[in-house]
């Protein structure tokens, strides 16, 4: 089963938004999906509790402080939302499970520098040659200098930039109801779905 880890040591970069929508995408395809939340704020876990019973099912993945339980065999796709400051032994435990790592990154100089060290640590890990790593720009306005700085930064990483997601209240309103872009009529969020196309293609590979 593919296990997608969403990680960035910087807080507030959109990890839970990315995690829940990736889980929602897998669920829309009819997969048996689990969503784990290793962050003490438990944003993704709260989102799961808000999810309406008529929505496509997403199971909760038991992620304790000390260890991460293996997903059951009847699950086909797993997403793990990780905490800020992920490093050391916990970081290594998470990487042992991961097939893909999605790194959300905001166009802020502080986020960029904080993420650089994490990406270096990721590249130096023993599993680096087996992991698929992709970067997603979060709350990106392509018309800004900050967006240009982000583009310049990622250009030198040698990692794929899967796309940039705009800052929109669509994510906020849907999350408050336990939903994702992939749970509502496409006509309502067409612009956002276009931004997800390359991310979805990467998830399917």
Domain count for the chain = 1
Which residues form the domain of 50? 3-204
User: How many Cβ atoms sit within 10 Å of the Cβ of residue 165?
Assistant: 22
What is this structure's pTM?
0.91
Report the alpha-carbon distance of residue 26 to residue 142 in Å, rounded: 28
Give me 80's structure tokens. 């793990």
Distances in whole angstroms, Cα of residue 80 to Cα of each of 34, 61, 97, 109, 163: 8, 8, 10, 26, 20
CATH of the domain at 72: 3.40.50.300
Q: What's the confidence (pLDDT) of residue 88? A: 65
Distances in whole angstroms, Cα of residue 163 to Cα of each of 12, 50, 67, 166: 19, 28, 32, 10
pLDDT tens profile 83-136 = 777 666 777 777 888 899 999 998 888 888 888 888 888 877 766 678 898 999
CA-wise closest residue to 134 among 176, 92, 165, 177? 165
Beta bridge partners of 135: 103, 161
Give me 59's structure tokens. 């199971």
Q: What's the confidence (pLDDT) of residue 49? A: 94
Looking up tokens 């009847």 gives: 74
Give me 39's structure tokens. 């962050």
Q: What's the confidence (pLDDT) of residue 204? A: 95
Q: What's the confidence (pLDDT) of residue 151? A: 78
Report the alpha-carbon distance of residue 198 to residue 204 in Å, rounded: 10
Asked whether the beta carbons of 185 and 145 are under 8 A apart, the reply is no
Q: What's the confidence (pLDDT) of residue 145? A: 74
Q: What's the confidence (pLDDT) of residue 142? A: 74
Residues of the chain with pLDDT under 70: 63-69, 86-88, 126-128
């Amino acid at each position: 089963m593919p296990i997608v880890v969403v990680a960035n040591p910087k807080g507030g970069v959109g990890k839970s938004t990315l995690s829940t929508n990736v889980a929602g995408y897998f669920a829309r395809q009819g997969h048996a999906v689990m969503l784990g939340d290793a962050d003490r704020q438990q944003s993704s876990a709260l989102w799961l509790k808000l999810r309406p019973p008529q929505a496509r099912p997403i199971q909760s993945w038991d992620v304790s402080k000390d260890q991460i339980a293996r997903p059951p065999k009847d699950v086909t796709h797993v997403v793990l939302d990780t905490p800020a400051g992920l490093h050391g032994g916990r970081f290594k435990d998470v990487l042992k499970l991961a097939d893909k790592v999605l790194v959300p990154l905001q166009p802020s100089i502080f986020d960029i520098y904080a993420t650089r060290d994490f990406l270096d640590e990721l590249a130096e890990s023993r599993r680096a040659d087996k992991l698929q790593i992709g970067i997603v720009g979060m709350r990106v306005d392509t018309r800004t200098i900050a967006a240009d700085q982000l583009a310049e930064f990622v250009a030198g990483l040698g990692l794929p930039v899967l796309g940039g997601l705009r800052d929109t209240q669509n994510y906020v309103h849907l999350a408050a109801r336990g939903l994702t872009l992939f749970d509502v009529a496409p006509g309502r969020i067409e612009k956002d779905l276009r931004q997800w196309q390359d991310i979805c293609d990467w998830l399917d590979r």
